[in-house]
A and B are shown apart, each in its own frame.
Chain A
Amino acid sequence: MGAPRPQRPKASIAIERIIEFVIRLSGVSAVFFVAAIFFFIFREAVPVLWDPDFDFAEFLFSKEWYPTSVNNVRYGTFALTIGTLSVTGVAIVLAVPFGLGAAIFISEFCSPKIKETLKIVIELLAAIPSVVWGFIGLTVMSKLIVSVTGTAVGVNLLNGGFILALMSVPVIVSIGEDALKAVPDSYREAALALGATRWETVFRVLLPAAKNGLLAAVLLGVGRAVGETMAVLMATGHAVQIPHGLLDSVRTLTANVAAELGEAPAGSSHYRVLFLTGVLLFAITLVVNVAADLAVRGIRRK
């Protein structure tokens, strides 16, 4: 073959080796960081399990939360868990129909121009920081609720649920739209060819075909609502109690940590119990995320 083959300069080979080493290191570092999160949260939380004042059953099932009481310290998070569940519930009841409806509209009914615009609006809606949402709840929404219902305090379960709904809707819409987009066009064409209207196609064909993805959308919306902190801290009114109506104030697990972490002395039982709450939250969101991931993978396998 005549001419000698060109050789790569040694330096460029060496540089490539170094770059590839750094790339590998970064890849593995992701695992390291996750492990670190597990480790440090558990490390701060675990010692409280041996504290004589602390009872794990009480932690989960008692509604008495008196962390700073002088002679009757109680670390029961039941009311907080109910707070989280109720706010999330209100949010989901409001957000799911709107979110899925908007996802269907964007995916199936509107023109490309409107679709593009709506997707941008949703992206911007999703970008609004939670503290701004909290501020909106505290000011706008609270005044609105007071003037409409005549209740004394505007920061309550309804307010928090409403704000959380607005925060979860973008998640539900974008994931739900992805799920509908993943349904092959041949399904739509087949349904339309059989004489179905667009609505019948959506209702009879697309929704059943995309149900896993839509479930994932709802679950991720729930995940966002459960984990939300600042918005519920500012909008729910902060009373540790089991709510009896939409206009009662509540406090959630997340808001409780945010409200008290600053005042709990490092290393105290109170401080450790807050970390334990973090473990609990971590576990809840883990379950929700894994469930959503499984649901999404369900569609991919098809």
Chain B
Amino acid sequence: MESVTPPSERFTRTHQVARRERAQTVAKWVFGAMSLAMVLPLVAIIVYLLYKAWPSLGWEFLADIPRKGMREGGIWSAFVGTLYLVGLSLAISAPIGVLAAIYLNEYARESWLNRLINMAVINLAGVPSIVHALFGLGAFVYGARFGFSILSASLTLAIMTLPVIIASTREALSAVPRAFRDACANVGATRWQTIRAVVLPNSISGILTGIILQVSRAAGETAPVMFTGAVFFKAVSRGDLFPYRLGDQCMALSMHLYTVSTQVPNVKESIPYATAVVLLGSVLLVNASAIVLRIWLRGRKKW
């Protein structure tokens, strides 16, 4: 590569060095621009949606129900429906997911069952949402005869979020050093005593973050609820916090966005934009709070 240089010229900048440094600078700027190309869409999208949605945005839009065939009014029924679906589905999947992760990480030995569960979790996490929709339809709506209902839709969402909760909880649990568990075993603590005193308190932040992130995922999913329990329109009264029962169908924010933007003609232009802003805003808010929580708890790490 480089020829032998006489002592007097060592450490001086040759053309080659300058060229190599130029290549480095160019690489840095190109990659930097590529990264910027991801930041810009996020900002541009949010700004544009806000701009278009502005005429409709306001508390009134959130608290009012859709009127005149969804061409006017607000999104209350859909918003509450999404709260129901997300709340119920996580009430099911979070405990099962966390406990399953505890089993896998703390109890299970290396065995075929454990490998099977691992494989299942990995694959389940990659199953397309429309396949979950098919499963929900086949298993809960028809198979278990729950019909098109909040229950069916929530169960479908729960199964969908389960593997991700298992995976994120396991990650949080395995971040607790093995030495702590050994130390506890050495003084005669049972596994559960170890888990309760040492493992859980030091992984709870990671576990919670994982669950919170699934809140936003469940809220944004459309296909799985569209065929299992969410409907185009459901009459509820304005501002009613408890309009639905388990066996009812409900509206959902994500599906409402799909409906007003593709299925309903002559909608006031700002309504779909405002719906998108509310959905996007809630999701990003939830995610941002998970991130803040994580950063805050990381600062209090104990080892």
Contact = CB atoms under 8 A, between A and B. Distances in A.
Interface residues of B, number: 89
Contacts of B137: 44, 261
A121 B42 contact: yes
A282 B20 CA distance: 48
A181 to B, nearest CB: 15
A222 to B, nearest CB: 10
A97 B38 contact: no
B31 A127 contact: no
29 contacts: A20-B191, A20-B192, A25-B99, A26-B95, A27-B100, A27-B108, A30-B117, A31-B116, A36-B139, A40-B139, A44-B138, A98-B34, A127-B220, A129-B221, A129-B280, A130-B221, A131-B257, A136-B276, A138-B262, A139-B273, A226-B128, A227-B126, A229-B128, A229-B222, A258-B133, A261-B137, A275-B134, A278-B135, A282-B127
B227 interface: yes
Interface stretch (A53-61, A72-80, A243-251, A286-294): A286-294
B39 interface: yes
A275 B159 CA distance: 18
B299 interface: no
Interface residues of A, number: 84
Contact of A31 (B95, B113, B159, B283): B113
Given A109-B28, A129-B220, A140 B258 contact: no
Interface of A: 16, 19-20, 22-31, 33-34, 36-37, 40-41, 43-44, 97-98, 101-102, 104-106, 109-110, 118, 120-125, 127-132, 134-136, 138-140, 166, 169-170, 173, 197-200, 202-203, 220, 223, 226-230, 234, 254, 257-258, 261-262, 266, 274-275, 278, 281-282, 285-286, 288-290, 293
A227 B134 contact: no
Nearest to A296: B122
Given A22-B99, A199-B24, 10 more contacts: A36-B159, A37-B124, A43-B143, A122-B38, A125-B41, A125-B42, A128-B45, A131-B258, A199-B26, A229-B128
A249 B216 CA distance: 31
A44 B52 CA distance: 43
Nearest to A20: B192
B251 interface: no
B288 interface: yes
B180 interface: no
B257 to A, nearest CB: 5
B220 A169 contact: no
Given A37-B135, A40-B143, A199-B27, A131 B220 contact: yes
Given A132-B279, A285-B128, A290-B123, A109 B31 contact: yes
Interface string B18-56: 001101101110111011011101100100110010000
